[in-house]
Chains A and B, each alone.
Chain A
C-alpha cells in the first residue's frame, strides 16, 4: 500500500513589540519571573484590556508580504478555558474575523519550489508559563509572557512531508525576521508551531483522521516529530486500525509523540465576541504608512548587494537569505573595502561556525568591528589567510579583537623582504640535496621550500613575498 502524508501547520509568531497586546507591560525576554506584569496581565478584578496598535501594524505587514487580504476592522473574541497560567480564564483572540485572510508563501524543499497557501493569520495574546519541577510540591506561575502578542498563522493542508514542513518554517522564519515583525528566536519560543498530520491512501481525496502535535520549537524537532507521527499513523493504518483524533506532544528526549488529550475530552471554548474591546479600525492612512515603510525583502536585497557591493549572484543570495547575516554584512562593509573577501569569509568560515553552533550571527560573539578588522588585516597583509583562521577561532570563543590577538601572540606577518631573504637563505643552505634535485627539474619540491620557510616563521611569512623571493633565489 502506498501512503500520502498531509500536513497543515499552525505557526505562532511572537510579535516583537515593546509592550504587550492589551497592556503596557514590557515584553522583554528573560526578566525575573512576574516582573513584566501589570494589573491587566494578572487579570485582577476590574481591569480592562486596551490595544497596542504596533502589533496590528506588524500583523498587517506580514499580511501584505504574503499578498493576503487585510481586514482593517479587527474584532476580538474570548476563548474560555481554565488553566493556572491563563489569568483571566479566557484568552483574547480572533475567531470570526482574522486580521489577515488568505495569501501564500513560497518554500524550497529538495530544490523544488512549492507554494503553500495560507488560510488565515490572527492576533491573540499568549498565556503565562507554568513551572512544575522547580519547587517541591508546588507549581509556579510566571506571567511575564502572559499577554505577549502572537500572530497565529494557519496554513492550508498542503505540506506533504516533514522536510517540506521544515522548509515552510524556514521560509516563515526568514519572512518574519526580514519584516521585523518577530525576532524569530525559536529557542525562546518566538517562533513555534503545531503540526496537524494525517495519512491517506495515495490518490485519495478525502483526508485521513489527523492528530495535532503541539508546540514544536526547533527545525530539527519539527522534522523528527512529524516523521515519527507519519510512521506511527501508517503502522496503525496498515494494521487496519483507525487513527484517533487527538492532541499529541513531542518528547525530544525519547524522540516520540504521545497523547495529550483526545477529542472526547476536548474543551468547549465557548467563543464569543470580547465585550471589553470595541472593534479596532486601521485607517487607510495607517495602511499607506505601513506600505511606505515596507522593509526590503530577501530578493530585493540580493539584487542590491550585487549592484552595490559587486557580489556574485551566488554570494549575494546566500548572504541575503538570512536577515541577521545580511545586516551584519552591510554594517561590516562600511568598515572594509574588500567586499569579495568579506563575503567569502561570511559564507565560508563564519557560516560554518554558526551552523555548527546552531546560532544566528547576532547571537554569536562576533562583532562587526572585529570581523571588519580581521578582513582589513588580511587585506593589508598584516596576517595571512591561514593565521586569520586561527585568530577567527579565538574571536568566536572570547570575542577578542583581532589586533589584540595579533599583538599578544606575535602573529604579525613577516613582509619585510630582507628578513624573508635571510630565512630563505638558511633554508637553501640547510637543504642542499633538495635544492640540487629542484635544479635538476624536480619542480614539485618548490612547495617543500615554502613549507620550510613557513615552519621557521611559524606561518607568519607573507606567502606572496616568500614565493617571489624563493623563485628568484632558486634560479641561481
Chain B
C-alpha cells in the first residue's frame, strides 16, 4: 500500500485501522526520501533515531494525538537536539544543537516522527532556495525549476508526497511562496502565535514558524500543536489557542473578501490573472462577496522590509564568529582576522549582501533615514490593515506574481528582481498578520497559489475559508509526475 501523497488525516486513518504500522510507515517514508533524493529536499536524514522512535509506537493504539506516528520533516533552521542543524550554511555545516526548538518539540512530544531536516535558502534569505550551501532543490513539478524559498525543501518534500507535512518559517513569504510554487498549502500564523525559541533568527520581529501540508485541514492539525505561549520567548503571545479544527467546516456564506486596490493585478501574467478571477468566482458561489479596499501604504512594503529585515539580520548573525560554534577559519593572525576569515568563508553571497545592507541601515547617520523611517512606515502599513479589517473579513491576493522559474534565471544580475517575488507576501509579516497560501490551479503546467490574509489571531477563520475552498475544488489533490527524479 502506498503512503505517497497521503495527507496526515489519511495516514492517521491507515494507522488507526492497522492498515500499516508506524514502523512500516517510517520505513516507507525513508524509501521515498531515498527514491527522490535527486530533489535534494533534505540536508540531513534522521533515520536511526526515527526508526527507533517508530518502533516504540504501537499502531492502532487509541491515541488522543492525531500526530502519533506521523512522519514530518523540519526546516533546517529549527534546532534539533543531537541532529545536525545547518540553516543550509557552511558556517553551521557541522553544528549539532544541544536542544530542540519549542515548535518542533511540541510536534515530537505529540508522537510525530522527524524524518529529517529540509534544505532551505541560507539562513532563510532567498525566495528560490538557490542560496543553500547544500545546493538547489528541484521543484517536484518541473526539474531544473526552483521550489521557491526559503522553505523550499519542506515544500518540495510535501509536494513530492514524501512526508504529509513539514515545518517552515516565514519572514517575508518563506512558507507561502514555496507552498504556492509547489502546489501545497502553507500557513504563516500571527506573529507570536508560535514560539521562536530554537528557531535560528533571521529577522526577529518578522520571523514566524508555521506548517506546510497537503491540505488546510492538515495545517490546522499541525498548528494546533505548534501554537501557544512559551516563557522562553517573551514575544510569543499569551492568548488562548483555539482548536483550529473546530470551525473548519463552518459556512462562508456572507464572507467579505477584500481585494487590494494598490496591487495592480492587471500587470500580472494574464494566466495568473485569469486563475485569480476563476477563484473569485468559486468563492462567490460559496456565498462570499468581494470588495475593493485601499491600503495606501502597502506599495512601500518591499523597501520597508528590505530595510528592517537586513538590519535585524546583521545583528542576529553576529554570533556566528567562529569562537564558540560553527565554522572557524584556520591560520588566523588575531581575533579580527579570525572573524573576517571565518565569516568570509562561512557565509554565502546573499547572506553577506544582507549583512552589509543591514549594517549600513543601522549605521550612525543612516539609522534615522533607513531603519527608523522603515519602522515608521511599517506602523502605517499596519494601520492600513487595521483599517480595512473593519470592513472585510479577509484579504485575497495571488501568493506570488509568477509561477516557479528556472534555476539561475532570476536575481543573478539584479538581486532586487528576486526581492519583488515577495511583493504580495511581505506586508503581512510587517503587520504581524496570519496568511495562508492554497493551490488554485496551474499555469504553464506549474502550480499557482492563492493567498488569504486574515486579521490578528484569526488563523481559525483563514483555515476555515481555505478548507471550504478545498472541499469544493480539487487543485490541492494534483500530484506531480516525479519520473524525472527517481
Contact = CB atoms under 8 A, between A and B. Distances in A.
Which of A43, A78, A89 has the most C-beta atoms of chain B within 10 angstroms of its own C-beta? Answer: A89
Nearest to A22: B234
B279 to A, nearest CB: 35
A268 B339 CA distance: 17
Contacts of A90: 315, 318
Interface in B86-106: 87, 92, 95, 97-99, 101
B200 A46 contact: yes
Interface string B370-400: 0100000000000000000000000000000
Question: A-B pairs with the 9 shortest C-beta distances?
Answer: A89-B318, A275-B204, A270-B362, A275-B205, A45-B200, A46-B198, A46-B79, A43-B319, A46-B200
Interface residues of B, number: 44
A271 B319 CA distance: 16
Interface string A32-62: 0000000100111111111100000000000
Given A46-B101, A270-B315, A275-B204, A82 B234 contact: no
Nearest to A277: B234
A47 B367 CA distance: 26
B293 interface: no
Contact of B197 (A46, A89, A278): A46
B326 to A, nearest CB: 8
A286 interface: no
A205 to B, nearest CB: 28
Contact of A48 (B197, B317, B325): B197
Contact of A51 (B85, B200, B234): B234
A437 interface: no
A139 B201 CA distance: 29
Interface residues of A, number: 30
B231 interface: yes
A270 B321 contact: no
Contacts of A45: 79, 85, 87, 92, 95, 97, 200-201, 319-320, 325
A268 B363 contact: yes
A272 interface: yes
A429 B311 CA distance: 99
Contacts of A271: 362, 367
B362 to A, nearest CB: 4
A272 B323 contact: no
A276 B92 CA distance: 22
A141 interface: yes
A42 B98 CA distance: 12
A84 B95 contact: no
A452 interface: no
Nearest to B364: A268
Contacts of A277: 234-235
Given A45-B201, A87-B319, A88-B318, 13 more contacts: A43-B319, A44-B98, A45-B85, A51-B234, A78-B315, A80-B314, A82-B318, A84-B323, A88-B319, A268-B364, A270-B359, A272-B367, A272-B371
B324 interface: yes
Interface string A51-95: 100000000000000000000000000101011100111100000
Interface in B321-365: 321, 323-325, 335, 339, 359, 362-364
Nearest to B312: A275
A43 B99 contact: no
Given A50-B234, A51-B234, A82 B196 contact: no
A139 B264 CA distance: 59
A50 B319 contact: no
Given A89-B315, A272-B315, A278 B97 contact: no
Nearest to B320: A45
A268 B362 CA distance: 9
30 contacts: A43-B319, A44-B97, A45-B87, A45-B92, A45-B201, A45-B320, A45-B325, A46-B198, A46-B201, A47-B197, A48-B196, A50-B231, A50-B234, A78-B315, A80-B314, A80-B318, A80-B362, A87-B319, A88-B319, A89-B318, A141-B323, A268-B364, A270-B362, A270-B364, A270-B367, A272-B311, A272-B362, A272-B371, A276-B201, A277-B234
Interface string B60-91: 00000000000000000011000001010000
Contacts of A89: 315, 317-319, 321
Contacts of A80: 314-315, 318, 362
B199 interface: yes
B331 to A, nearest CB: 13
Contacts of B317: 89
B235 A87 contact: no
Contacts of A139: 335
B271 interface: no
A276 B312 CA distance: 10
Contacts of A275: 203-205, 235, 312
Contacts of B324: 42-44, 87, 141
Contacts of B17: none
Contacts of A87: 319, 323-324
Nearest to B203: A275
Nearest to B336: A82
A43 B233 CA distance: 15
B232 interface: yes
B41 to A, nearest CB: 22
Nearest to B318: A89
A50 B97 CA distance: 20
Nearest to B375: A273
A46 B200 CA distance: 4
A139 B317 CA distance: 23
Nearest to A139: B335
A51 B233 CA distance: 10
A39 B362 CA distance: 27
Nearest to A42: B324
Interface in B163-221: 196-201, 203-205
B363 A49 contact: no
Nearest to B99: A39
A44 B204 CA distance: 15
B289 to A, nearest CB: 38
A87 B312 CA distance: 17
B144 to A, nearest CB: 32
Contacts of A270: 314-315, 359, 362-364, 367
Which of A43, A48, A84, A88 has the most C-beta atoms of chain B within 10 angstroms of its own C-beta? Answer: A48
Contacts of B204: 275-276
A95 to B, nearest CB: 11
Nearest to A49: B234
Contacts of B321: 82, 84, 89
Contacts of A46: 78-79, 97, 101, 196-201
A50 B234 CA distance: 6
A396 B15 CA distance: 77
A50 to B, nearest CB: 5
A42 B321 CA distance: 12
Contacts of A82: 318, 321, 339
B95 A276 contact: no
A268 B366 CA distance: 11
B124 to A, nearest CB: 12
Contacts of A50: 231-234
A300 B363 CA distance: 49
A428 B335 CA distance: 84
